[in-house]
Amino acid sequence: MADLTLAVDAMGGDAGLPVTVPAVKALLAEHAGVRILMVGQPEPLAEALAQHQLSDHPRLQVVPANDVVLMDDPVAVAMRVKKDSSLRVAVNQVKEGRAQAMVSAGNTGALMAVSRFVLKTLPGIERPAICTAIPTQTGHCHMLDLGANVDSEAEHLLQFALMGSALARALGQPQPRVALLNIGEEDIKGNELIKDAARQLQAHPQLHYTGFIEGNGIFAGEADVVVCDGFVGNVALKTMEGVAGMFSHVIREQINQSWWRKLSGLASLPILNGLKQRLDPERYNGASLVGLNGVVVKSHGGAGEKGFLFALRVALQEAERNVPALIQSALAASSPETP
Amino acid sequence: MADLTLAVDAMGGDAGLPVTVPAVKALLAEHAGVRILMVGQPEPLAEALAQHQLSDHPRLQVVPANDVVLMDDPVAVAMRVKKDSSLRVAVNQVKEGRAQAMVSAGNTGALMAVSRFVLKTLPGIERPAICTAIPTQTGHCHMLDLGANVDSEAEHLLQFALMGSALARALGQPQPRVALLNIGEEDIKGNELIKDAARQLQAHPQLHYTGFIEGNGIFAGEADVVVCDGFVGNVALKTMEGVAGMFSHVIREQINQSWWRKLSGLASLPILNGLKQRLDPERYNGASLVGLNGVVVKSHGGAGEKGFLFALRVALQEAERNVPALIQSALAASSPETP
């Protein structure tokens, strides 16, 4: 791993410092070449660093920021009032070339708006998108957009496809299969937006477009990149979380039903733990804001230390492979053919 | 249970007769007051009935239909070419008053188009919707639309809310909490369609509207009726199926990993079976086509005998409570206030 610097919004997320500081400590231990700019309110941050024996870490530097964007702050407040927030100052580090990526568990809307304002979008990109890895039966796929854009047009879906494909290639898929999320696999299904987008993806020489995919096909591993409007993608993502949560709830309920079940629950712990590990949402934490002039990764607001560490690793990988440059060259190569 | 007659499309679904005939046999045994009109191709149907000792059942009558709508037949073929299909002849039984409900596991698009053409929509309903019960941590909720309508407008979402609310009341929820599926719970989130629909649902005196719900909120039991456009609803429904399928797959994978795990898998069978039973998709089979002048229930095409039996029970309940009349009176009562 080359010498890289990550800017971390130390204050963001439901928990803030108690999650971000130990996760950063773990990352520093994992990667000897990595430097961290820890952005936050100086006093509580110094205290948390001291508590984790990080006060004098040679590869960690504190960058002061006096404000904090709250999880329910309107975007306008993050943009116009809290200009000295840890979120914004961390994005500034990327803009000013002091860091190659930034990570925040803060307010998604604020992070998108600030990143877009500070870093700007790549040439040819109208709308950045949110992209994350989703576990499937055979491994994982990348899905976008997950909520940055509602009411996307067909051209936006094409851009999402190009960006997702470049990201998947950067992360090791040589020829990612790109599919369009729809309510049926037949050509006649879906609304006008989807039919129009399908024509554009089909015609694009740079994409390995494989056709429509349904909600259940995502998990069967039928595609490497799943493209959709942000409204639909966000509903699908939250639905996954909801179903997974219900499974855990019902498993606990079943185990607690009788002493015999408690005993068999004990016996089945390796299986349930294996299940948990394979599908653990923390392992899939870290959504990329793609289409920007810089690497920005959003951690789930409720992620724990382990989840935040996964988000840090995503940022590191994307910075190492310079995903924004890869996306830009994918777009540039394809622009003559784009309608 | 009053004297009721169900028309059953005996040929519909991936399996057809091997599923529909034994399910009908189970229903006849369960409900002494119920009569069945079994609609299908006379020869194979007679053979299947004989095989299940149903040839001379006093409450089962065969209605011949020479065609079968295939799962991938275009809607136009079902509508214009196969006028003597089991699907269509079964819908005709409801139209002509010989049955109080019909059930088919056939092609959804064809079933919707034929039902709409033959039965017509209720006064004031522009678009029928597909509604089904979804398991939640606390019980279940009803969700619509699940794919009949793409590109719904705000007024359609209002009609879905009224229909879903009437259905939930008919099935035993005295004051169903109605929520609108969105990508955040704050008022500022979502696209224009959702914001407009929220205003209309909020203003409606007959609805107990509780605000926005996110994909994960569905399973937490936050609402009794979840309203959405058919594109979004279908993606969410298929996503649920996909996640549930992946869980089963991973559980099997985990159990088969070693002899010790196979042994503990055996010990944990009651828990896994309890889990399966609580969340079994077959138990939630049977989606209602609401907004029509008659009860039409769609079984999942791949449902087994048990699943098809659940769909038959849904049809029976709705026929018994005369859901179309309840929806009509909910709409009539509310129409003066509707914008």
Domain range list for chain A: 1-125+291-339, 129-282
> Other CB atoms closer than 10 Å to residue A139's CB: what's the count?
10
Partner-chain contact A235 B236, CB within 8 Å: yes
Q: Which of A258-272, A309-323, B13-27, B305-319 has the least mean pLDDT? A: A258-272
Q: B274 to chain A: which residues are within 8 Å by CB?
A: 250, 254, 257, 261
DSSP-assigned letters across all residues of A8-24? EETT-TTT-HHHHHHHH
Which of B136, B219, B237 shows the shortest C-beta gap to A215? B237
Contacts of B72 in chain A (CB under 8 A): 186
Query: How large is the ipTM?
Result: 0.85
Q: How confident is the model at residue B206 (pLDDT cuts 50, 70, 90)?
A: confident
Confidence of residue A100 (pLDDT cuts 50, 70, 90): very high
Q: CATH number of B1-125+291-322: 3.40.718.10, 3.30.420.110, 3.40.50.2300, 3.30.530.20?
A: 3.40.718.10
Query: CA torsion A9→A10→A12→A18, rounded to 10°?
Result: 160
- Please tell me which residue, A3 or B145, carries the higher pLDDT value: B145
User: Would you place residue B337 in the very low, low, confident or very high pLDDT band (cuts 50, 70, 90)?
Assistant: very low
Give A32 to chain B, closest Cα distance, Å: 35
Considering only CB atoms, which chain B residues are within 8 Å of A147? Answer: 183
Per-residue pLDDT at A338? 43
Over range A12-21, report the average pLDDT: 96
Rounded to the nearest angstrom, the minimum Cα separation between A98 and chain B is 34
User: Taking CB atoms and an 8 Å limit, are B150 and A191 in contact across chains?
Assistant: yes
Tell me which residue in A239, A268, A279 faces B240 most closely, judged by beta carbons. A239
Q: Which tokens hold the place of B248?
A: 């089963």
CB B240 to CB A243 under 8 A? yes
Q: For residues B55 and B47, what is the distance between their CA atoms, to the nearest angstrom? A: 9
| Helix, strand or coil, per DSSP, at residue B165 | helix
Q: Which residues contact A53 (CB under 8 A, 6 or more apart)?
A: none
Residue closest to A166 by CA, chosen among A339, A337, A332, A328: A328
Q: Read off the tokens for A196.
A: 């129009």
Residues 22-81 of B with CB under 8 A from A: 72, 74
Closest CA to B217 of B234, B197, B236: B236
Residue among B112, B127, B239 with most chain A CBs within 10 A, to mutate: B239
CB neighbour list of residue A257: distance below 8 Å, 6 or more residues apart: B274
State the pLDDT at residue B330: 83
> Do B220 and A278 count as a contact with CB atoms less than 8 A apart?
no
Give the residue ranges of DSSP H helices in chain B.
Answer: 17-30, 42-51, 75-76, 86-95, 108-119, 154-170, 192-203, 215-219, 230-255, 259-267, 269-279, 305-320, 323-334
Q: Do A242 and B215 touch (CB under 8 A)?
A: yes
Helix (H, G, I), strand (E, B) or coil at A272: helix
Interface A–B counts its CB contacts (< 8 A) at: 188
For chain B, what is the radius of gyration of the CA atoms? 21
Nearest CA among A170, A36, A275 for reference residue B251: A275
Contact between A242 and B216 using a beta-carbon 8 Å cutoff? yes
Query: Among B233, B212, B232, B231, which residue's Cα sits nearest to residue B222?
Result: B212
Same-fold call for A1-125+291-339 versus A129-282:
yes
Cα–Cα distance measured from residue B12 to residue B305, given in angstroms and rounded to the nearest whole number? 13
Give the H or E element holding residue B134: strand B129-136
Burial of A100 (0-12, 13-18, 19+ CB in 10 A): buried
- Report the residue from A136, A147, A270 with minimal CB separation from B183: A147
Bridge pairing between strands B34-40 and B287-290: unpaired
Is CATH 3.90.1560.10 the right assignment for the domain spanning A129-282? no
More confident site: B338 or B68:
B68
CATH superfamily of domain region B128-283:
Isopropylmalate Dehydrogenase (3.40.718.10)
**Tell me, which fold does domain A1-125+291-339 have in CATH?**
Isopropylmalate Dehydrogenase (3.40.718)
Q: How confident is the model at residue B226 (pLDDT cuts 50, 70, 90)?
A: very high
- The per-residue pLDDT for A282 is 81
Q: Closest residue of A to B255, CA-based?
A: A271
pLDDT band at B332 (very low <50, low <70, confident <90, very high): confident
Give the one of B192, B238, B260 whose C-beta lies nearest to A216's C-beta.
Answer: B238
- On whether any CB of chain A is under 8 Å from the CB of B244, the answer is yes
Tokens of B106: 């056939």
CB–CB contact B241 A181 (8 Å): no
Instruction: Find chain B residues with C-beta within 8 A of A231's C-beta.
Output: 183, 190-191, 232
Q: How far does A211 lie from chain B, in Å, by closest CA?
A: 16
A236 CB neighbours in chain B (<8 A) are 215, 235-236, 239
Average of pLDDT values for B97-126? 95
3-state secondary structure B214-282: CHHHHHCCCCCEEECCHHHHHHHHHHHHHHHHHHHHHHHHHHCCCHHHHHHHHHCHHHHHHHHHHHCHH
- Residue B96 makes CB contacts below 8 A (sequence gap 6+) with none
pLDDT per residue as tens digits for the range B185-204: 666 567 788 999 999 999 99
CA dihedral for B187, A246, B142, B144, sign (positive or negative): positive
pLDDT at B325 over 50: yes
Interface check A259 vs B, CB under 8 A = no
Task: Give the C-alpha separation, A179 to A233, whole Å.
Answer: 13
pLDDT (mean) for B231-252: 86
Smallest Cβ distance to A183: which of B72, B147, B274? B147
**How far is the alpha carbon of A268 from chain B, nearest alpha carbon, in Å?**
5
Rounded to the nearest 10 degrees, the angle between the axes of helix A269-279 and helix B259-267 is: 100
**pLDDT per residue as tens digits for the range A180-204:** 999 876 665 677 889 999 999 999 9
